Structure 1
Amino acid sequence: MGDTGGFGLAGRRIVVTGGSRGLGERIVRRLVLEGCSVATCARDEEHLRRLADSLEVFTRPLDVTTPELLEEFVAEAASEFGGLDGVVACAGGSRGRALDTATPQDWTTTWELNAGHTARLVAAAAPHLRAVGGGSVVIVSSISGWKPGPQAQYGAAKAAQIHLATSLARELGADGIRVNAVSPGSMLIPGKRWDRMRLEEPDRFATFTQEFPGRRLVDPAEVAAVVAFLLSDAASGISGANIPVDRAQNAPTPDGY
């Protein structure tokens, strides 16, 4: 449905982690357009401030891997809104490179940024979702979670997020809480990796686009629309699923195996 509203989400109260830039920002903007009350957090205070200047959103600067800060933020958001109806785990990232150079700390940090923060977010939000009779959790994983490509620590953490969705959907389903994963393909986001390649290495970028049958990378607005759908009652029968939004992409990177 592009960037227009239309999933009947008006009045829903949603927490989105990592919502200050890129895909996270697009998700926040889509949900606000839908009429949601949105709380978001990120490490970059300046980008959060810019977001809050352009939208009516509840923001907090924090690192989602820091013990207790994420849980405090969820509690604050629930108090501010008078409850929660859904959460989106969008914060993520990777540390380190190949196996022979990545440190144990790179693996630990990558895990905490992705799977670790997701588990803590859902645990913190679950009591608030139970209080309203259920709700929806959307976990932003990646094509790298189910199609092999470098780096292994990132793919492993993203695969863990997909497993969290399937397992937690079973665990929380009796409480009326749905849990799903969304796995975006390579997205063209201004200033990010693929956009830089498009500008700086046009020949290599053109070769990479051949991984997509339509020769076009994923638009983050397309992912945000799927997230909004999964948060809505229109997706009431969907739980424990991993929804690829990758335009039938093959290898997840130009260096794919």
Structure 2
Amino acid sequence: MTPSSVRISNDRHSTRRGIIITGGSKGLGYAVAKRLARQRDALALCGRDTGRLRSAAAELRHESCAEVHTEALDVVDGDLEGFIERAANALGRVDGLVLCAGGASGGGLAESTSRDWQRTYELNVGHPARALRTCLPHLSASRGSALLISSISGWKPAPPAQYAAAKAAQLSLAASWARELGPQGVRVNALSPGSMCIPGGTWDRLRLNDPAAYETFQREFPGKELPGPDEIADVACFLLSEEAAAISGTNIPADRAQNAPTAFGY
């Protein structure tokens, strides 16, 4: 499909933006979805848990009357390209692509396997490449943007090394793709959150189960407080907006000047 073969719909879809979010059913991905839904953007979300997706969509529709399309999908092993095309068709247009699905497999170097490294690479580097390649005609037609959710681990690395390396690669991807796709009117940026206190997440569990360790970890932040996902979502939504039209090919840290990205130092 070429950019010239994609047309922006002139029906009801043309009155608001269409945004696709991978990993959009929980954590930061869901926080971004909530923020966009409040702006009356139409959303397409994928995630691995059908029940969680159903719950997220119901909450978004209830709170913001948002148009939400969902699909249960593993972005590494599933039909990611098919999801992107089905989402574009459902939305009528695609103005933004948020690549939030990510993570790591395996532990330290001695314990990790080649499969752990491959899986981590495919999740954080392969999935954004596949998604953006498929979505490119739609983003070119709308002069939209793509946002890679990276991490401060991309330049303040800590174990596991496969995660740090994959996140560092995302920063390079954003810079390279911005230059490659800019002539087609597409912006590409990376957003690197620090450690977030997400309800039920790693740091929230540490806060509840080991308050002393959590208090020590807070010292990695000059303000002694971890950011929440809603704060990071505000930055993500700005980078997707017309107000950020001059920003492309860069990495935006959102970490409250965090030092080490773990509770155990470097």
TM-score (structure 2 length as normaliser)? 0.91
- Give the alignment partner of residue 43 of structure 2, picking from 34, 38, 41: 38
Deviation at 1:86, TM superposition (A): 1.0
After TM superposition, the runs of 4+ consecutive aligned structure 1 residues lying more than 6 A away are none
Distance 2:196 2:33 in 1: 17
Indicate yes or no: 2:217 matched with 1:208: yes
Could you say which residue in structure 1 is the equivalent of 2:132?
122
Q: Which runs of 5+ in 2 are unaligned?
A: 1-14, 62-67
Could you say which residue in structure 1 is the equivalent of 2:11?
none
Deviation at 1:188, TM superposition (A): 0.1
Q: Which letter maps to 1:46? A: G
Deviations 1:143-199 (A, max 9, x none): 101102111000001111111000000000001100000000000011111011101
TM-score (structure 1 length as normaliser)? 0.94
Could you say which residue in structure 1 is the equivalent of 2:56?
51
Indicate yes or no: 2:73 matched with 1:62: yes
Deviation at 1:35, TM superposition (A): 1.2
Deviation at 1:255, TM superposition (A): 2.2
CA RMSD in angstroms comes to: 1.0
Q: Which runs of 5+ in 1 are unaligned?
A: 1-9
SS of structure 2 residue aligned to 1:118: helix
Identical pairs, percent: 54
Distance 1:152 1:177 in 2: 31
1:150 touches 1:255 (CA, 8 Å); kept in 2? no
Q: Which letter maps to 2:73? A: L
Counterpart mapping for 1:64-143 below 5 A: 64-66=75-77, 69-132=79-142, 134-143=143-152
Indicate yes or no: 2:156 matched with 1:151: no
2:222 touches 2:258 (CA, 8 Å); kept in 1? yes
Indicate yes or no: 2:253 matched with 1:248: no
Q: Which letter maps to 1:73? A: F
- Give the alignment partner of residue 174 of structure 1, picking from 159, 180, 183: 183
Distance 1:49 1:180 in 2: 29
Deviation at 1:54, TM superposition (A): 1.7
Distance 2:207 2:263 in 1: 12
Q: Which letter maps to 1:16? A: I
Deviation at 1:116, TM superposition (A): 0.9
Distance 2:85 2:195 in 1: 33
Deviations 1:205-242 (A, max 9, x none): 10000000000001111110011001101000000010
Could you say which residue in structure 2 is the equivalent of 1:6?
none
